[in-house]
Amino acid sequence: MLHDIGDRHYHCEYEPRDPHPETDYLVSCQGSQILLLDDTIPTVAQAAERADLGELQYLFRIDDTAFYLSSQPLPEGNGLAYVSVHRLRRLTPDWLAFGGVTGYHLSNWYHDNRFCGTCGALLRPKEDERALVCPACGTIRYPNIAVAVIVGILDRERDRILFSKYSTGYRYYALIAGYNEIGETLQDTVRREVFEEVGLHVKNIRYFDNQPWGFSGTMLVGFFADLDGSPEFHVDHKELSEAVWIERASAPEGDARVSLTGRMMEAFRLGQRV
């Protein structure tokens, strides 16, 4: 999956340092777009040759390679262009793609938390940890991480799984998914989301795997669950455009390299224990 970066190590510790321009990378985002140089993430030096970077914010490092966030949008041209962040799904090497997506997650958090929600004053970076602090009232803001479940619903009697398509955005087959609500266990979220989106009941809910998913600022937690009762479903078209039972022999190949959803689809297709 996207966060599986082999023998490299992701250091989330907040330990700001001066950039090594030739080897460290620059993250610059606008909305749902990220800046690339000839289809890859530019180094600090490459970006500085083409534009004024403004103040840089340290983000994290992978091994000894650090990633920095530009405080301002950069002009396009000379190979620099803002493209859909989902272009990173195809970027290699994998560790650089993961760094770009994680940088995008943090860029959105910094952008959306410029002012104190308690008193309205301008927030500033905290010096000893990854957080924002209000100089007026002392409120501290930490990065937001939403928790969501992905559910592979199995009809074991007929050896099939329920695939669905979202009503907007991602147009390929996926699995039932939804956000955890305040006061819910993750198993409660599984039951609720399945019933809300397709009107089915499930049992034997079991954990499969998890994945940080910076595209949506989410921690994805995957579960498989067995159908409990009738297989007849009713699609909530506010959330889904369609749903369909897929027998194992007809299941399409999932993109296990990138996403937890793809890995779960592949686990079912290949007959792995789920």
Q: Please report, for residues 42, 95, 138, 236, the alpha-carbon distance to residue 100 in angstroms, rounded to integers and kept in the order given.
A: 10, 9, 31, 34
CB-hemisphere CA count at 13 Å for 239?
A: 18
pTM: 0.92
pLDDT score recorded for residue 168: 81
pLDDT score recorded for residue 156: 95
Average pLDDT on 139-157 reads 96
Res 253 pLDDT > 90: no
User: Reduced to 3 states, what is the DSSP secondary structure of residue 158?
Assistant: coil
pLDDT score recorded for residue 215: 95
Average pLDDT on 108-132 reads 95
Scan for tokens 């100089």, then name that residue. 135
Scan for tokens 């990065």, then name that residue. 143
Structure confidence by residue, pLDDT tens digits, 214-250? 999 999 999 999 999 999 999 999 999 999 999 999 9
Instruction: Indicate the burial class of 74 (C-beta count within 10 angstroms; 0-12, 13-18, 19 or more).
Output: buried
The DSSP code sequence of 14-40 is: -------TTTSEEE-EETTEEEEETTB
Whether the CB-CB separation of 220 and 213 falls below 8 Å is answered with yes
Structure confidence by residue, pLDDT tens digits, 169-224? 777 899 999 999 999 999 999 999 999 999 999 999 999 999 999 999 999 999 99
As a whole number of angstroms, the distance between CA 22 and CA 130 comes to 24
pLDDT tier for residue 167 given thresholds of 50, 70 and 90? confident
pLDDT score recorded for residue 170: 73
pLDDT score recorded for residue 172: 84
Structure confidence by residue, pLDDT tens digits, 67-87? 999 988 999 999 999 999 999
Structure confidence by residue, pLDDT tens digits, 10-59? 999 999 999 999 999 999 999 999 999 999 999 999 999 999 998 999 99
